[in-house]
Amino acid sequence: MTIRVLVAKVGLDGHDRGIKVVARLLRDAGMEVVYTGLFQTPETVAIAAIQEDVDVVGLSMLSGAHLTLAPLVVQALRERGSDIPVVVGGIVPSNDLADMRLAGIAAIFGPGASADEMVTSITDVVSRARA
């Protein structure tokens, strides 16, 4: 079964080259990808994820707001009755990883994460969510 991924930029982070590269590599790996564009709110991401019936939400976080915005996306999904897992890629300091996981982030990809690592991890996250 094909994995559907919604990728999004939440907040005021306008750096979108990386998320476009990730969207393409996920597509090239056989996943269906929906890109919401820049400057989304946690609520718009949650609504789009539910409307698009995706299996996972991928957030690109380069602004330093990962501890605030990523948990708000998880919260917005849960408030709408959705258990869609959320993964984050970008600049996340190692001392924030535990807090991100406690906030419900299913996987975190830092700088240098390989395409294979992302595809394998997202596939595993979706497999666990579907089980």
Q: What is the pLDDT of residues 47-105, one digit of tens each?
A: 999 999 999 999 999 888 899 999 999 999 999 999 999 999 999 999 999 999 999 99
* Confidence category of residue 14, pLDDT binned at 50, 70, 90: confident
Q: Give the pLDDT score at 15.
A: 86
Pairwise CA distance, residues 116 & 107, whole Å: 14
- Provide the CB-side half-sphere exposure for 36 (13 A, CA): 27
Q: pTM for the full model?
A: 0.96
Between CA 24 and CA 128 the distance in angstroms is 24
What pLDDT, on a 0 to 100 scale, did the predictor assign at position 1?
85
Taking alpha carbons only, the member of 60, 54, 113, 64 closest to residue 87 is: 60
End-to-end CA distance of the chain: 13
| Helix/strand/coil percent split, the chain, to 5 | 45, 20, 30
β-pairing verdict for 4-9 and 105-109: unpaired
Strands across the sheet with 4-9, in order?
32-35, 4-9, 56-61, 86-90, 105-109
Percent of the chain with pLDDT over 70: 100
Distance separating alpha carbons of residues 95 and 121, to the nearest angstrom: 21
pLDDT at res. 64: 80
The residue extents of the domains of the chain are 27-51+75-84, 86-94+103-131
pLDDT at site 55: 98
